[in-house]
Chain A
Amino acid sequence: MMPINQVYLLFCAALIALGVAAFFLARARASQLRTHGAAMVAQPDQYAWFSVVTTAGPALLVAALSAFVLLLLGADIPTLYLLGASLAVAVVGLLIGLSQVRPDFHARQAIERVIRGILAAAAMVSIVTTLGILISIVFEALRFFQMQSFWEFITGTTWAPGNSFLAAAGRADEGASAAQFGSVPLFAGTFIITLIAMLVAIPIGLMAAIYMAEFAPAQVRTLAKPVLEVLAGIPTVVYGFFAAITVAPIIVDAAGFFGLDASFNNALAPGIVMGIMIIPFISSLSDDVINAVPDSMREGSLALGMTKAETIISVVLPVAIPGIISASLLAVSRALGETMIVVMAAGMRPNLTANPLEDMTTVTVRIVAALTGDQEFESAETLSAFALGLVLFVVTLALNMVSVIMIRRFREKYRSNDL
């Protein structure tokens, strides 16, 4: 029995050899036909490529599909047989390809159909990805809800998964208390941190966009855009470190100065830093939207003797507002799903409070916590990550949908009004 890697290598070599053979055989045959005076509808190279396609295509398809089906059935994959069968298919394909080297065969059209098929298949990958996310999350989430009550998950105010391993080991009644999966504190924490982030990002981002679109001289614009892009390109893990190491202690000190007691894992630090992260997002989207407001609106207002501020506030912004709301919704969806900043700077303790100086935790933090421990996969705590993920997916999807619809309405309206 050869090592598996060598088998694969051998298979690839054989397939490539067959493909090369197909190419040259078909081309030779086509050239020969042509020199004998046959009027061919395609060029020799096109017949050659067609033969390569009939050789390699079905063979690879057979190998991949049967491997997938076997995986789905949970059976072991008989690698050797599978690859052997695939090579046999390749040989058959080669013969078919050669037999098609006929003067009246439209090889070019056939190749183009294949290319089109391949491109369409590539386009399906994104659909499959979405389905993959949905399936992986939904199935595991369903398993979680078989163990835990859905109602309890939605309305419960205590998140204490700590003892679930005892339950998984069949010793539920021996633990001090049963595991509890009430997600309300997690959503509350997520909501508060998102709110703080938006309070930072929306005013600053929007005002910066107004400056860039309405006031800034061209030089400032060309300078400010890359600066904001740099801000947008900083990885979230870096922001997380900044929040935990620099911002959180400052907030604790500042709170202490006012005689308040702040936790080092307070919600303010990740919230503010998340807001900073989102500023460029809001400002660049709003900048686009404000620039898309037709100049005829501005001129109409200015020609009435309105000042610039009045024009911006009473005419430009009301026109742009659907686009700005759309950008803000996208930003909210980002903040909800943001993971690294909260994992590094927010707390782990589910804490139902409205005080941003206390520590609190979020949905994403608990997903990470549930999946990085030494839990076995079947435990309720691990599966709870997927239930939380499902909620996150649904909420962000809904926000995104609403946002896309709003921005599309805005665009359509001002394209058609451009006459």
Chain B
Amino acid sequence: MLNEQIATRGTESWRPFIEPALKPAPPAAQGKPVDTNEEAGHELSIRVRDLNLWYGANQALKNVNIDVYQHNVTALIGPSGCGKSTFLRCLNRMNDLIRSVRIKGLVEMDGRDVNDPRMDEIALRRRVGMVFQKPNPFPKSIYENIAYAPRMHDLVSRKAEQDELVEQALRDAGLWNEVKDKLAEPGTSLSGGQQQRLCIARAIAVKPDVILMDEPTSALDPISTATIEDLMDKLKQQFTIVTVTHNMQQAARVADYTAFFHLGELIEYNDTRMMFSNPHTKKAEDYITGRYG
């Protein structure tokens, strides 16, 4: 037990446990990545401080601190049940839908606390879109799947505008060439990978700032997965992407920054290359090298 606690303090693990107050807080606790990625942008998108979350009496997130940077892909990894999906859903308040959830702490975007009662969660979700683990196209036509939300948000006023938006979203999602001749067919008639890209196109069409992806490829075949990974790389030019993945190789391939969660705690937050080559904590090291997970 003692060993483990010391281990979580990473590079300073040799220090005796009795002195924690004296040493500086580990980088993960400050929300900054331990190492910075020189190629990536560093403008702040979402700032999370001391985030705690309970399901009833069960604490699922413990004092999580993260800075999410714009136009980056940030990957959340960790063994199942570590709270990474729960954390992701805090960013656009999808946890509001679960009755027994209680949240404490700060999630800040654009200078505003998103958990503030005055914050309209619909407005938040307009700016923070989401793609789910299982593709969930609406039982409508491919066209309607995409046009539905922009129309509701008054993003388009004329039919021509709407057509243009649908085409652009499908092009951005790399789906246009495959579906341009069958826009009237139901979204559910597509293959799994196509359905997931349709869901991405649907999210893009609303023009959000951030797109959250909750294990977007876990239900897909390897080829579709590769397509979506390429897509994520392209999309970060326009959007900030936070993705949860159970697949470390995927994190290594697509992410600029990687956060490692374990039992509701953020253990290490680091530049992806550093995380996989030279992690600062023993737990992350053990997880990445496959000792558990």
Contact = CB atoms under 8 A, between A and B. Distances in A.
Given A299-B97, A318-B139, A319-B139, A306 B134 contact: no
B94 A304 contact: no
Interface stretch (B53-61, B118-126, B251-259, B283-291): B118-126
B152 A306 contact: yes
A302 interface: yes
A297 interface: yes
A261 interface: no
Contacts of B199: 300
Interface of A: 218, 294-307, 310, 314-315, 318-319, 417, 419
A156 to B, nearest CB: 46
A237 B130 CA distance: 54
Contact of A300 (B99, B126, B138): B138
A303 B122 contact: no
B137 to A, nearest CB: 8
B276 interface: no
Given A310-B152, A314-B148, A305 B136 contact: no
Contacts of A307: 122
Contact of B136 (A297, A306, A310, A318): A297
A304 B203 contact: yes
B188 interface: yes
Contacts, number: 68
B136 A296 contact: yes
Nearest to A307: B122
B138 A305 contact: no
Given A300-B138, A314-B148, 11 more contacts: A299-B94, A299-B136, A304-B126, A305-B206, A306-B152, A307-B122, A315-B138, A318-B138, A318-B140, A319-B139, A419-B219
Contacts of A310: 152
A30 to B, nearest CB: 59
Query: Residue among B125, B136, B206 with the most chain A CB within 10 A?
Result: B136
Interface string B105-143: 000000000000000001111110110101011111000
A305 B123 contact: yes
Interface in B136-190: 136-140, 148-149, 152-153, 188
Contact of A303 (B99, B130, B148, B152): B130
Interface of B: 92, 94, 97, 99, 122-127, 129-130, 132, 134, 136-140, 148-149, 152-153, 188, 199, 202-203, 206, 212, 219
A298 B138 CA distance: 9
B139 A303 contact: no
Enumerate the 8 nearest inter-chain pairs by beta-carbon distance, A residue then B residue, closest first: A305-B126, A303-B130, A296-B136, A304-B149, A305-B125, A300-B136, A419-B134, A305-B122
A303 B203 contact: yes
Nearest to B92: A303
A102 B77 CA distance: 70
Query: Residue among A299, A300, A314 with the most chain B CB within 10 A?
Result: A300
A84 to B, nearest CB: 69
B132 A299 contact: yes
A159 B226 CA distance: 74
Given A315-B138, A318-B139, A419-B219, A305 B153 contact: yes
Query: Residue among B129, B138, B212 with the most chain A CB within 10 A?
Result: B138
Contacts of A304: 125-126, 129, 148-149, 202-203, 206
B132 A300 contact: yes
B132 A296 contact: yes
A351 B274 CA distance: 88
A299 to B, nearest CB: 6
Contacts of A306: 122, 149, 152
A314 B127 CA distance: 21
A317 B92 CA distance: 24
B175 to A, nearest CB: 17
Given A305-B149, A306-B149, A306-B152, A296 B122 contact: no
A307 B148 CA distance: 13
9 contacts: A294-B136, A296-B136, A299-B136, A304-B129, A304-B202, A305-B122, A305-B129, A315-B138, A417-B188
Nearest to B124: A305
Query: Residue among A304, A307, A314 with the most chain B CB within 10 A?
Result: A304
Given A296-B134, A297-B136, A302 B94 contact: yes
A318 B219 CA distance: 25
Contacts of B153: 305
B125 A297 contact: no
Nearest to B206: A304
A419 B99 CA distance: 25
Nearest to A315: B138
A298 B132 CA distance: 12
Nearest to B211: A303
Nearest to A302: B125
A406 to B, nearest CB: 15
Contacts of A314: 138, 148, 152
Contacts of B148: 304, 314
A303 B140 contact: no
A296 B94 CA distance: 12
A315 B136 CA distance: 11
